[in-house]
Amino acid sequence: MAADRIGFIGLGNMGAPMAHRLAAAGFRLVVHDKSGERLRAFREGHPECQAADDLPALGRACHLVITILPDGNIVREVLLGESGVAAGLKPASLVIDMSSASAIGTRETAARLAERGIGFIDAPVSGGVKKAVDGTLAIMAGGDAGTIDRVRPILEVLGKVFLTGPVGSGHAMKSLNNYLSAASLASAAEAILAGRAFGLDPARMIEILNASSGRSNSTENKFPNFILNQAYNSGFGIGLLAKDLRLAREVAVAAGTPDTLLCICAEVWQEAAHELGDLADHTEVFKYLESMGRLDSRGRTGNGA
């Protein structure tokens, strides 16, 4: 294998369409996923992409490796574990981690790679599966600005690049974004449930919210496309969002900033993920809160005066 290929690890809901865009743009990929099924499915559609025998072999074949995996611990294990990618990467190679991962853990991963002369950028994404397919993701890139500029033509196949600062800042930004996203979805769900119980029509409520100050991505996108139609198929697992809230909390604790609402929000999503299972779609939080309402109302006096 020639060493000018891009290693791409993680062919899940986000990774597969992102790798597809890179392959379609003419980049030569060496792909890997621990799921044989996902690897096979991707390679069936992209016979020009190679698969490596193991992770060090992928490292040896590439100067640039992109990871988009469930969390930062998995990223660290894939890169730096025994028989990880770093065992094959040459000095002056670069890793771009596009997963949503711990900002603090990421600094440690970057430092350990730096000991081997390997560069690191954290470049997590927002926009969900649809924007991964369209190549319109928001990419939050932390790390050396010159290095980010060098890989800009690759990243711009996937979306719009925003520089966030030093290594780890992309992951911090992403987790804080997802805190706001999770808070708005859970609070919109509570508002819709209260309105519906009061006799309002949920579809009409969404229409009014979207013409009013309560609108958000949750009311403009998630309610019409995944919740009101009961499709619950956004492609973003609730376990991943619960993880993002833990990571946002980690950032707030490290910074020593207020986190009262963040703690409540993280707890709601943690419990929802526990009840529904990590693989449930995150939009199913609506069903979870609906079931909570039924439980609550049993013991309620109904005196709202």
Nearer to ligand NAD, 205 or 218 (CB): 218
Nearer to ligand NAD, 71 or 189 (CB): 71
Tokens 């499709």 correspond to 231
Q: Which stretch binds ligand NAD (CB under 6 A): 56-64, 83-91, 124-132, 217-225?
A: 124-132
With both helix axes pointing from N to C terminus, report the angle between 15-24 and 36-45 in degrees, rounded to the nearest 10.
Answer: 30
Per DSSP, 225 falls in state I
With both helix axes pointing from N to C terminus, report the angle between 285-298 and 169-197 in degrees, rounded to the nearest 10.
Answer: 50
Q: What are phi and psi of 164, to 5 degrees?
A: -115, -15
Per DSSP, 293 falls in state H
Q: Which stretch binds ligand NAD (CB under 6 A): 206-214, 232-240, 248-256, 291-299?
A: 232-240
Q: Which of 236, 269, 286, 288 binds ligand NAD (CB under 6 A)?
A: 236
Binders in 87-106 for ligand NAD, by CB under 6 A: 99-100
Nearer to ligand NAD, 70 or 293 (CB): 70
Q: Is 295 helix (H, G, I), strand (E, B) or coil?
A: helix
What is the DSSP secondary-structure string of 196-213? HHTT--HHHHHHHHTTST
Residue 105's nearest CA partner among 243, 282, 301, 298 is 243
Alpha carbons within 13 angstroms on the beta-carbon side of residue 210 total: 14
Q: How far apart are CA 115 and CA 123, in angstroms?
A: 21
Binders in 50-89 for ligand NAD, by CB under 6 A: 68-71, 74, 78
Nearer to ligand NAD, 171 or 205 (CB): 171
Taking the complex as a whole, the smallest distance from the CB of residue 50 to ligand NAD amounts, in Å, to 16
Contact flag: residue 34 with ligand NAD (CB under 6 A):
yes
Catalytic position from the list 34, 90, 174, 287? 174
Interface size with ligand NAD, residues (CB under 6 A): 27
CA dihedral 248, 249, 254, 260 (to 10 degrees): 130
Q: What are phi and psi of 3, to 5 degrees?
A: -85, 15
Contact flag: residue 180 with ligand NAD (CB under 6 A):
no
Q: Which residue of the chain is nearest ligand NAD when measured via CB?
A: 12
Q: Is 190 helix (H, G, I), strand (E, B) or coil?
A: helix
Nearer to ligand NAD, 32 or 205 (CB): 32
CB 191 within 8 A of CB 214: yes
Q: Is 131 helix (H, G, I), strand (E, B) or coil?
A: helix
Q: Which stretch binds ligand NAD (CB under 6 A): 26-34, 58-66, 165-173, 192-200?
A: 26-34
Q: Which of 5, 7, 12, 164 binds ligand NAD (CB under 6 A)?
A: 12
Taking the complex as a whole, the smallest distance from the CB of residue 54 to ligand NAD amounts, in Å, to 11
Does the annotation mark 174 as catalytic? yes
Chain residues binding ligand NAD by CB under 6 A are: 9-15, 32-35, 38, 68-71, 74, 78, 99-100, 125-126, 128-129, 235-236, 240
Q: Which residues are catalytic?
A: 174
